[in-house]
Chain A
Amino acid sequence: MEITTTLDCKGLSCPMPMMKLSKAMKGLNSGDVLEMLGTDPGTKSDMPHWCEKTGNELVLQEDIEGGVTRMLIKKK
């Protein structure tokens, strides 16, 4: 899957990751994929709610090394 842009939210806590994500998604086109890297555990539970509300698709959510979570979000 081709990644359109990467959003680095490492070290940020609530509400900054979701604020930055909402803003970044506005600048993307339908079908674009955003890669988000973050360390706030709250984003893991916020993301499915946010995707359900906005209609965007959470393609992947995985914990990678160093306490970082990687998420791929496809714009509707």
Chain B
Amino acid sequence: MSKTNEGSVLTQLFKTFFGKHWPVWVGGILLGFLNILLFAIKSPWGASGGIGNWGENIYSVLGVFSLENVTATNASLYGMLCLMIIVGSFIGALFSKDFALRIPPKGEMIKGLLGGILMAIGATIGLGCTIGAFFSGVPALSGGAIIFSFALMVGVIVALRYLMWEMEKFPKWSSGKSYTWFSAKGKGRTHTILGWVMVVGVGVLAYSYTKSLQTMTWFVIVGALFGLISQRSRFCIVKAFRDPLMTGESHGAVGVIAGLMIALFGFTAIKYFGIGVDVTSLRAREMTWVFPHFWAKAAIGGVIFGIGMTIAGGCAVGTLWRIGEGQFKLWLSGIGFLLMAPISKLFLVPKVDGILPQSMKFKSFLPDYIGYGGSFALVVAILLFWYWFVKWNEKTGKFSAF
């Protein structure tokens, strides 16, 4: 093969990945497989803990709240995983010429910050976000995750009604001066070169952990892939919940359902066969990502998180990859989230825990009640119903606002 042909083949391959956005279901399936990989290595995907870790580090450096036992972000698996999602998305956005620093009108910035604060409150009370307590929690066969999912939907409905009211009554809140800087010019060579520099940087960072903390090497690589895949496929859980009720479109929901279905198979196998039990007890492995939030904590946290993510326009992962893409509104959501999470954990959560009895905040592992087969069938039935609903609603528009 001539050099020219090799060049054109590689160019074609590059265009395949970065020319157009990928279907969301492709992203969902890939993220589902990577989530299984992460669980096989250590534990499933989570986001709110990692973002909270950043906030704790900031307060620790500032000497505020006298936080003890704060893990430095460069030693925190989930702190680094979240950071790498931003980096991975940044790389994807640079290669595809999607990157630009986008400063929205003032009203949108306020909503971004407020949404992030609400997400932090929801995640700390509900012990998880759209990733840990939903995208990983549901395949982990957690009863609390099922409650959290329905509560998210309630939050999305409430916040969507608010957004429509705002657009009708106060349209100026989402309009006004905006700025777009650093967008790709021409063929976007500068962006592409910077993208390759970032790829090398990820490789060097991953290699730097190979002698001290091998698990981190994997978390760095998988985190960057999470970010890149999410950005390219525009994988966003708020979209999955919101769009069927807004414009009636189902592709976001189908992508999330695909990812959940893939992860369900892998997670069930890991738990059922006790894969990874040499480093922990079988019971501990089974209870991985089954949090003590059934049912009230999951319900309260889910509703608040659902409202927050809809106002912000990005769930946990949606916020992270949009930060990497240069969406300033989501930068503010991230800042609101990381600054509020430690405050909520210190002052709000103990109050909620003090009010709720133990029967409203326990670990509910579905196979303990209905066996592995029953739990698997229940989750599959819920996912199939969701799929049927969004497709039926897309055709009929019965539950769509527009």
Contacts and interface: CB of A to CB of B under 8 A. Distances in A.
A32 interface: no
Interface in B294-326: 313-314, 322, 325
A52 B275 CA distance: 45
A20 B167 contact: yes
Contact of A13 (B164, B183, B327): B327
A10 to B, nearest CB: 5
B174 A12 contact: yes
Interface in A18-63: 18-20, 22-23, 26, 39-42, 44-46, 49-50, 53
B199 interface: no
A11 B102 contact: yes
A10 B327 CA distance: 12
Contacts of A67: 100, 102, 180, 183-184
Given A19-B167, A45-B234, A10 B180 contact: yes
Contacts of A26: 402
A16 interface: yes
A26 B167 CA distance: 14
Contacts of B243: 15
Nearest to A46: B249
B167 A53 contact: no
Nearest to A42: B234
A14 interface: yes
A66 B183 contact: yes
Nearest to B249: A49
A68 interface: yes
B251 A49 contact: yes
Interface string B126-169: 00000000000000000000000000000000000001100100
B164 A19 contact: yes
B402 A23 contact: yes
Contacts of A68: 180
B322 to A, nearest CB: 7
The DSSP consensus for interface residues of chain A is: helix
Interface residues of B, number: 42
B249 A13 contact: no
A45 B23 CA distance: 9
Given A16-B174, A22-B247, A44 B21 contact: yes
A15 B102 contact: no
A46 B179 CA distance: 22
B163 A11 contact: no
B21 A53 contact: no
Contacts of B313: 13-16
Nearest to A45: B21
A11 B247 contact: no
Given A19-B163, A39-B100, A13 B330 contact: yes
Nearest to B20: A45
Contacts of A11: 102-105, 108, 177-180
Contact of A50 (B178, B249, B325, B329): B249
B239 interface: yes
A20 B166 CA distance: 11
B208 interface: no
A42 B102 CA distance: 13
Interface string B241-276: 011001111010000000000000000000000000
B104 A13 contact: yes
B178 A10 contact: yes
Interface of A: 8, 10-16, 18-20, 22-23, 26, 39-42, 44-46, 49-50, 53, 66-68
29 contacts: A10-B178, A11-B102, A11-B104, A11-B177, A11-B180, A12-B105, A12-B174, A13-B102, A13-B108, A13-B330, A15-B243, A15-B246, A15-B313, A16-B167, A18-B247, A19-B167, A19-B246, A19-B402, A20-B174, A22-B246, A22-B402, A23-B402, A39-B180, A41-B93, A41-B98, A42-B234, A50-B247, A50-B249, A53-B247
The 7 closest A-B pairs by CB, nearest first: A11-B178, A67-B183, A22-B402, A67-B100, A45-B21, A11-B104, A41-B98
Given A19-B246, A22-B246, A22-B402, 7 more contacts: A19-B402, A39-B102, A39-B178, A39-B183, A41-B96, A41-B234, A41-B325
